[in-house]
Structure 1
Amino acid sequence: MLLRRLEYLVALSRERHFARAAQACYVSRPALSEAIRKLEDELDVPLVRRGRKYEGLTPEGERIVVWAQRILADRDALKDEVGALRTGLSGTLRIGVIPTAAGAVAQLTAPFCAARPLVTVTVLGDLQADDILRQLTRFEIDAGITYLHEDLPDTFRAVAPYRERHVLLTGAADGTAQRATVSWAEASRLPLCLLTGAVQGRRVVDEVFAEVGLRSSPRVETDSVAGLFAHVRTGRWAGIVPHAWLHVFGVPPGMRAVPLVEPAREVSVGLVTTARKPGSVMARALRELARSTDVEAALERLPGDLGR
């Protein structure tokens, strides 16, 4: 009963609405509300600020939610561990991915599913780096693929599957299309279509431009890599994309992809999990796979040798 009440509290914290939390837990609203009242009595602290509608958790409630998330994650990890010992790993692996790494995640999920036929995978491919760390902390995902930085908190563990670099995507008729390389300064003078500033991949691009004393001035912005490809295909724009996306889309007819240099900037992209032990058996299995899989080499096998 305590675990069920903790589930209700976590759902209420996530949904921030009694009716939606009850729906998520497949119970009636009065049943959920009564269970949380009993949890308050049991812990002898107020958890919810009540008014005519949900007004948020109390400071005590916010702290208890953190413990509840840990307890429920440990319960799920225990069940997965026991299941793996009995019949092999089963259940659902949840992976959060930054948009620019969505093309690389399949290099891990494909061999993972092949080796573990009882596991299903859910990929959330439109998360920001901060979202991934936050959802890992809340045990809402088992692992994340995101940019790696030196200041990654020691509450996380990381494996670096590959290094991201960028290419200039342009029409075949453009003067830069036949070049072996293009500098970032030259790219800045082209009519650009770039990802929006809300996407961390765009912030990486802006950082490189800043290194050479320039500022990007795109004529078109999009929150979709597919949308960026579509705009470049019209022949009016050039785009800057991570090379890993060429492994997904190839280089469409009439377009070219040219490596960007001066600087030849690379950014580590890694698989991140929590450092808690023993932790999720799903996360451990994926981490072991990431260590033994040469994702970088797979992403180097680009269609048409960069479009030529």
Structure 2
Amino acid sequence: MLFRQLEYLVALARERHFARAAQACHVSQPALSEAIRKLEEELDVPLVRRGRAYEGLTPEGERIMLWAQRILADRDALKDEVGALRRGLSGRMRIGSVPTASGAVSLFTGPFCAAHPLVTVELMTDLRSEDVLRQLQNFELDAGITYLNEDLSESFQAFPLYEERYVLLTGIADDPGRRPTATWAEASRLPLCLLNPSMQGRRVLDEVFAAAGLRPVPRVETDSVASLFAHVRTGQWASVVPYAWLHVFGIPHGMQAVPLVEPAHTVPIGLVTSAREPRSVMARALLETVRRADAAAVLERLPGRPS
């Protein structure tokens, strides 16, 4: 069995198409197909359901693919470990984040890159929380930044970063924006632009509204926090945005951002890695950087309001 055969199988499962998998692996389609066929002969089980086109993996193929992902991840982790011992950390760090927390990622990537100049950081910042955990489990990410839930599986290790809290973002002329705080009830009566319901950041807001007996109906829904700011800028809309994003955009001219109270709701955000030991050298290095960065302290103070 060769690593190359396992790489082809994982690529085929990901791409769900022989030609695209071959292109991703930089080989011809016949070469990829033949390598997988030989892997089936060696393991003495069918791995791929074949028809006129790719029809998916067999049950045996699904199990073997999980082992392939693990073996390839361990190979890469071993190479990173040896490389770090010889010449310092190098390679690619893959971080996935839910959109509401992506504004805080720069607090870690800057210091991390400064400490490890041979490492390239790859960020995926539009993932749902379940996607972050799935990609960690499938060894497609080295670390994830997401909501910390009590039911987080023991296969993950979490490090708390900060408590996500929320502000009402409005045009400067809106009455709630002239107060030091605003209530969720006041927010519910405004023409709202919010994240779409498939995103956990939106589900958190819906739970807070529902607990207060409120059910706002947003007129605009989006999958982008930046789009929320853009819509509020037009003067037509208001939005509820994570506090941490004010450290990215500040409070743009013509807008007000006031803390939401009644209730003053917070949600823990954390760095999540695989709990498998030995942990990858990339994940260990990032965790060291995160511990020194102290995101909670950086995000503690609300930016000053425009005059």
Give the structure-1-normalised TM-score.
0.97
Contact 2:191 2:236 in 1 (8 A): yes
Displacement over 3 Å in runs of 4+: none
Q: Indicate the residue corresponding to 2:275 in structure 1.
A: 275
Show the 5 A alignment for 1:93-172.
93-172=93-172
Deviation at residue 89 of structure 1 after TM alignment: 0.3
Q: Matches of 2:3 and 2:150 in 1, distance apart?
A: 37
Q: Indicate the residue corresponding to 1:66 in structure 2.
A: 66
Secondary structure at the counterpart of residue 179 of structure 2? coil
Contact 2:251 2:306 in 1 (8 A): yes
Q: Matches of 1:49 and 1:2 in 2, distance apart?
A: 22
Q: Matches of 2:295 and 2:53 in 1, distance apart?
A: 49
Show the 5 A alignment for 1:74-85.
74-85=74-85
Q: Indicate the residue corresponding to 2:297 in structure 1.
A: 297
Q: Indicate the residue corresponding to 1:89 in structure 2.
A: 89
What's the RMSD between the two structures over aligned residues? 1.1
Q: Matches of 2:4 and 2:220 in 1, distance apart?
A: 49
Q: Indicate the residue corresponding to 1:224 in structure 2.
A: 224
Show the 5 A alignment for 1:11-26.
11-26=11-26
Q: Matches of 2:221 and 2:31 in 1, distance apart?
A: 47
Secondary structure at the counterpart of residue 175 of structure 2? coil
Secondary structure at the counterpart of residue 177 of structure 1? helix
Contact 1:195 1:202 in 2 (8 A): yes
Q: Indicate the residue corresponding to 1:209 in structure 2.
A: 209
The superposition leaves residues 43-89 of structure 1 with CA deviations (integer Å, 9 ceiling, x where unpaired) of: 11110111111111110000000000000000000000000000000
Contact 2:193 2:219 in 1 (8 A): yes
Letter in 2 for 1:172: I
Q: Does 1:242 align with 2:242?
A: yes
Contact 1:96 1:132 in 2 (8 A): yes
Q: Indicate the residue corresponding to 2:190 in structure 1.
A: 190
Deviation at residue 307 of structure 1 after TM alignment: 4.5
Letter in 2 for 1:97: S
Show the 5 A alignment for 1:42-57.
42-57=42-57
| Matched length | 307
Q: Matches of 1:160 and 1:240 in 2, distance apart?
A: 23
Contact 1:74 1:279 in 2 (8 A): no
Secondary structure at the counterpart of residue 176 of structure 1? helix
Q: Matches of 1:135 and 1:172 in 2, distance apart?
A: 41
Secondary structure at the counterpart of residue 282 of structure 2? helix
Contact 2:176 2:186 in 1 (8 A): no
Q: Matches of 1:40 and 1:32 in 2, distance apart?
A: 13
Secondary structure at the counterpart of residue 264 of structure 1? coil
Secondary structure at the counterpart of residue 45 of structure 1? coil
Letter in 1 for 2:204: V
Contact 2:100 2:201 in 1 (8 A): yes
Contact 1:179 1:258 in 2 (8 A): yes
Secondary structure at the counterpart of residue 126 of structure 1? coil
Q: Matches of 2:119 and 2:60 in 1, distance apart?
A: 37
Deviation at residue 284 of structure 1 after TM alignment: 1.2
Letter in 2 for 1:83: G
The superposition leaves residues 184-206 of structure 1 with CA deviations (integer Å, 9 ceiling, x where unpaired) of: 01111111111111221111111
Q: Indicate the residue corresponding to 1:266 in structure 2.
A: 266
Secondary structure at the counterpart of residue 272 of structure 1? strand
Contact 2:163 2:266 in 1 (8 A): yes
Contact 2:156 2:273 in 1 (8 A): yes
Secondary structure at the counterpart of residue 132 of structure 1? helix
Identity %: 73
The superposition leaves residues 130-169 of structure 1 with CA deviations (integer Å, 9 ceiling, x where unpaired) of: 0011000110010000000000000000001111000000
Give the structure-2-normalised TM-score.
0.98
Deviation at residue 302 of structure 1 after TM alignment: 4.0
Q: Indicate the residue corresponding to 1:257 in structure 2.
A: 257
The superposition leaves residues 205-250 of structure 1 with CA deviations (integer Å, 9 ceiling, x where unpaired) of: 1110011011121122222211111111122211100000100001
